[in-house]
Amino acid sequence: MRFAGKRAVVTGGASGIGRATALRLADEGASVIVADIDGEAGAALAAASGGRIAFRHTDVTRADEIEALMQAADAAGGLDIVFNNAGAGGAREPIDQLSPDDWDRTMALLLRSVALGIRYAAPLMARRGGGAIVNTASVSALGAGYAPTAYSTAKAGVLHLTKIAAADLAAAHIRVNAVVPGFITTAIFTRHLDIEGARREQADGMIAGAAAKAQPIPRAGRPEDIAAAVAFLASEDASFITGTHILVDGGLTIGTRASWDPAVPSMLTALEAFR
């Protein structure tokens, strides 16, 4: 019960990584406020939680709603943990086709919301003597080819923001870290493609199968894998960790496929032929 007596806010908590994290924090004793625009899923999660989880409808692209969310958590007994996680795929076009409005909407959802989550949580945490903030980044922050341009750029911004915020808030005893998911099977992929119903289920199955072959660990990543890392970073077990990130990607970013898959020829194996 690492979080007994603690209060946490999880944005984007009605599904996927956010839902798994809200449940993990609650299972370890925290009182959790889940914030999401999906009212039906959020209310169902709260109703099934036995009072451990409350739901608050929140659009994280609106500064006033983020501020109200943090204030509500504080008024309910204090704010100790924030997981800035809400997100979606955003604009899909490459840089030479992106519209300014689509770029701005993607940045508002994926980067500005994280900055404002930190902004409005930090003073409340400081009054309690400190706290822990965890932000969701992505392997797409580390290189090209993992996700669309705007999404990847926003997630790179989240990683740098995490470092800067950790420095800004160190004197207030607020730790700020990030989790960097790899290929995690959530609805973000099919939502990104606007797929519904039976076709969504079929697509999710295909994605899970592809994910199991995409990295050295031969299974698809699960939301619970990320939840475990977030819970660690939010806990006192990580009390000496700030301004960094945990990569939870099954080894996806170890190197080229040839670095871990013996069936794929590499430059080293090619050179062996000349020995």
The per-residue pLDDT for 266 is 75
What per-residue confidence (pLDDT) applies to 152? 96
Whether residue 10 contacts residue 84, with contact meaning beta carbons closer than 8 Å, is answered with no
- What is the DSSP secondary-structure string of 68-91? HHHHHHHHTT---EEEE-------
Report in angstroms the alpha-carbon separations of 222 from 52, 89, 160: 23, 18, 25
- Helix residue ranges per DSSP H, 113-222: 113-127, 149-169, 188-192, 197-211
Name the nearest CA neighbour of 134 among 49, 250, 46, 8: 8
**Residues designated as active site:** 151
Residue appearing with tokens 């607020």: 174
Quick one: tokens of 134?
């965890």
Enumerate residues 6+ apart whose C-beta is below 8 A from 156.
137, 140, 141, 142
- Which tokens go with 36? 């999401």
In this structure, the chain runs to a length of 275
The pLDDT profile of the chain, 275 residues, written as one tens digit per residue, is: 999 999 999 999 999 999 999 999 999 999 999 999 999 999 999 999 999 999 999 999 999 999 999 999 999 999 999 999 999 988 889 999 999 999 999 999 999 999 999 999 999 999 999 999 999 999 999 999 889 999 999 999 999 999 999 999 999 999 999 999 998 886 655 555 565 666 666 666 677 677 778 889 988 899 999 999 999 999 999 999 999 999 999 999 998 888 888 888 877 666 666 65
| Euclidean distance between CA atoms 106 and 87, whole angstroms | 9
Structure confidence at residue 265 (pLDDT): 80
Amino acid 267 reads M
Q: Which domains does the chain have, with CATH numbers?
A: 7-272 (3.40.50.720)
- pTM for the predicted model, two decimal places: 0.91
**Cα separations in angstroms, 52 against 17, 79, 82, 223:** 18, 15, 16, 20
Q: What type of residue sits at position 98?
A: L
